[in-house]
Structure 1
Amino acid sequence: MTTPHVEHHIQLLEHLRTILVAVADAEVVPENHHALFIERFDDMVARLRESTEDLYMGQDIISQVFQRYPQIAHLVPRDLLWFFGGDCLHFMPDEEIDKFQILEERRFEALEKGEDFNWAQELQLMFMPEDTPKQ
């Protein structure tokens, strides 16, 4: 069973997969290599559902998305870069990393106190423009 935090990221991966399939449907990439990549992508998601002990495969897959499909790099949810960490962090500016670090600290504090923490909601608040009123 996955935690709500992991499930949130699995949903983001499923969204990313639909984008990757759309890229192939638009015949923007060679089909033979793409099919193998999607197979590895699906395997990574299946493993993630079982355990988050080893995130290296996810780091590799997400990094490859940036290398293989630069035309969709801007569509990769930033959460996934933070979630997988490692080489994925090279695709994030320092300012963004700092914000995710603060968010992660808040999440751990809430877990330690036994409180609920809505990652998606807190993420939205964290990245809201400075002049936007927060609720």
Structure 2
Amino acid sequence: MASTDLDLPLALLTHLRGILVALGEAEQVPDDTHGLFLERFDELLTELPGDPEGSRYLGQDLLSQIFHRYPQIAHLVPRDLLWYFGGDCLHFMPDEEIELFQTLEERRYDAEQRGEPFDWNREKQLLALPSDASKH
């Protein structure tokens, strides 16, 4: 996997870590294991660039734990991370969202086959537009 493929997940993980830190600083965490959870989260941030495939299960585990441990921030978990890590993370995505990401993957594959650049975020925004938005 090219490093550019990791740029978005790493940026989103860093952002999510900031939310987790703020949650702890606001003393909205009911137990003392928050620090240990952040250490495991940091482990993921460190290991992901060197071993993207090997880090998948740790990523799936940590993201799933966020939904269980910190339900108050579940809506802040970037959906791209759920898709990136896949597996159990997909249980936290509605079918419509999974379909959107499948379409994005198909478009990325098609662009790669044609040797064209692919902008994930731009394509995601285009797909999110209402179907009649192009008529205005």
Q: Distance in 2 between matches of 1:70 and 1:131?
A: 35
- Higher RCO, Cα 8 Å, sep 6+: 1
AA in 2 matched with 1:76:
V
* Structure 2 gap segments, 5+ residues each: none
Normalised TM-score (structure 1): 0.90
AA in 2 matched with 1:79:
D
In the alignment of these two chains, the number of paired residues is 134
AA in 2 matched with 1:115:
E
AA in 1 matched with 2:41:
F
Q: Deviation string for 1:58-115 (max 9, x for gaps)?
A: 0001001111100000001100010000000000011110110010111122223222
Normalised TM-score (structure 2): 0.90
The answer to whether the 8 A contact 2:3-2:49 is kept is no
* Structure 1 gap segments, 5+ residues each: none
Q: Distance in 1 between matches of 2:18 and 2:130?
A: 28
Q: Deviation string for 1:1-56 (max 9, x for gaps)?
A: 95222111110111101000010011000463111001100101111111212211
AA in 2 matched with 1:42:
D
- Equivalent residue number for residue 82 of structure 1: 83
The answer to whether the 8 A contact 1:5-1:119 is kept is no
- Equivalent residue number for residue 66 of structure 1: 67
- Secondary structure at the aligned position of 2:48 is classed as helix
- Equivalent residue number for residue 39 of structure 1: 39
Structure 1 segments (4+ residues) deviating >3 Å: 129-134
Q: Distance in 1 between matches of 2:67 and 2:130?
A: 26
The answer to whether the 8 A contact 1:2-1:49 is kept is no
AA in 2 matched with 1:25:
E
The answer to whether the 8 A contact 1:110-1:116 is kept is yes
Compare 27-36 and 75-84 and name the one that shifted more: 27-36
Q: Distance in 1 between matches of 2:34 and 2:133?
A: 41
- Equivalent residue number for residue 51 of structure 1: 51
